[in-house]
Amino acid sequence: MEIYNPANDRYLITIEEDTKDSVSEKFNRAKAALSTWNQTPLKKRMEIITQFKLLVDQEKEPLAEILTNETGKPITQSKNELKGLMGRIDFFLSETAKVLEEEIVSEKEALLCEKISKEPLGVIANISAWNYPYFVGSNVFIPALLTGNTVLYKPSEYATCTGIAINKLLHEAGVPEDVFLLILGAGQIGEELLKLTVDGVFFTGSYATGKKINEMVASHLTKVQLELGGKDPVYVCEDVNIKTAAASLADGAFYNNGQSCCSVERIYVHESIYDKFVETFTDEVKNFVIGDPMREKTYIGPLTRARQIEVLEAQIKDAISKGAKLLIGGKRIAQAGNYFEPTVITEVTHEMWVMQEESFGPIIGIQKVKDDSEAIALMNDTEYGLTAGVYTQDENRAKNILSQIHAGSVYWNCCDRVSPTLPWAGRGHSGMGCTLSHYGIETFLRLKAWHLKKP
């Protein structure tokens, strides 16, 4: 597998991919390592993960460079991701012992005790995306390892070098070689992994792949968890500070070049402030610094995958053919690398793909609405259900609107935000199951019910 830098199309490295046989051999090793790792005291497992955190912190500069080189993520955003990883690890370290505690449910009858204990699922297949490899990867492999599972980790083919770095640091920190195993390759290798009788499949990626994976593992009766795409809406009410809301939403839509599962992908604005909001928002976007992702001041780098440019071009063409107005952007930037102009489209409707299909790039549609009911109807008019937000001064109004929205995470006056303490759980085409929060630790465990009667 040859890896290229999406910022300049330069060749970076050739990586040897796994094969059907090597995947199967790694699975057998992960299975054999399970009981020893599970019996390793939690304290020891926590020490190892703490050491991993320390090593990542020491290596954060070169790790950020590796990430930027292979994905085109601006270097400041790569550093932010690594900083965020520290907080996630801290959360898992602080919560796991509590989650693993046995529960005595009943001791009503003197001689009968009922209790619940928790055991690891077993061998976890972790198939991951490239857009935030440290976040989406660690949401799975850190709690999985802490709770005593072994992990077969397949990073995305677009974040392979980062996957290799994660693997190296986990082993250096003390995770045994057979407890965390790297599987390298693209979708076909992922499929080989799914043919094996793993005990849990934890996938982050697109709806199309997630659906396929769910169908593939159904016959094994294996637990599957899917964290998929989004078409995340935000409604801007008429009572906001327009400048503050526009700045926040421009960042929410264009951070990481719009390649976040929870990027703002649709904006609905109350008609009374629509023109002023659109003007202010567009000014924000015009000020973005586009260029070499290795430069500290760059905010917009290249897209990670060249093929996404075709998706953006098709969405823009479709929207314009149906009456949308292209305010700024709309085309590839003519230079080496996968650069695309930040794009703002207005006069959009829900007949247009740009308001229905995940764009996953630097493009946003803004639509005028007359009131809260119209905004709610439009926000819910999608198959996805990852996040949604409302910007208003009125807390009750925000809560009332958000309680009617079909999404796993809702935001008042903020957006594009993930917290380790809250569950990350998409609905509909955005996925099933959850990571993060204590629920995102429990998900790597199975329950055992004990009925104990003294002789």
**Which residues bind to ligand NAD, rule: CB under 6 A?**
127-132, 136, 154, 156-157, 186-187, 190-191, 194, 204-206, 209, 212-213, 227-230, 261, 358, 360, 386, 424, 426, 431
Q: How far is the CB of 336 from ligand NAD (least distance, A)?
A: 22
Q: How far is the CB of 165 from ligand NAD (least distance, A)?
A: 16
Residues shown for the chain: 455
Q: How far is the CB of 128 from ligand NAD (least distance, A)?
A: 5
For 252, the token pair is 């929410």
Q: Which residue has the tokens 């070049």?
A: 257
192 is catalytic: no
161 is catalytic: no
Distance of alpha carbon 450 from alpha carbon 453, whole angstroms: 10
* Residue nearest ligand NAD by beta-carbon distance: 190
Q: DSSP character for 256?
A: G
* Residue with smaller CB distance to ligand NAD, 204 or 382: 204
Q: How far is the CB of 377 from ligand NAD (least distance, A)?
A: 24
Dihedral angle sign, alpha carbons of residues 205, 208, 211, 215: negative
Catalytic residue among 70, 95, 157, 227: 227
Distance of alpha carbon 87 from alpha carbon 94, whole angstroms: 11
For 271, the token pair is 């008609």
* Residue with smaller CB distance to ligand NAD, 255 or 274: 255
Question: Strand (E) positions, 79-199?
Answer: 103-106, 112-120, 123-127, 150-154, 180-182
| Rounded alpha-carbon distances, angstroms, from residue 351 to 10, 23, 306, 318 | 39, 44, 26, 9
Catalytic residue among 81, 157, 237, 261: 261
Helices 42-58 and 75-100, interaxial angle, to 10°?
170
* Residue with smaller CB distance to ligand NAD, 17 or 341: 17
Q: How far is the CB of 121 from ligand NAD (least distance, A)?
A: 19
Q: How far is the CB of 160 from ligand NAD (least distance, A)?
A: 9
* Residue with smaller CB distance to ligand NAD, 29 or 427: 427
* Residue with smaller CB distance to ligand NAD, 291 or 365: 365
| Rounded alpha-carbon distances, angstroms, from residue 114 to 19, 439, 442 | 47, 23, 20
For 245, the token pair is 């809301």
| Rounded alpha-carbon distances, angstroms, from residue 255 to 76, 218, 360, 362, 363 | 11, 36, 11, 8, 11
Question: Strand (E) positions, 205-361?
Answer: 223-227, 232-236, 264-270, 325-328, 343-346
* Residue with smaller CB distance to ligand NAD, 38 or 206: 206
What residues act catalytically?
227, 261
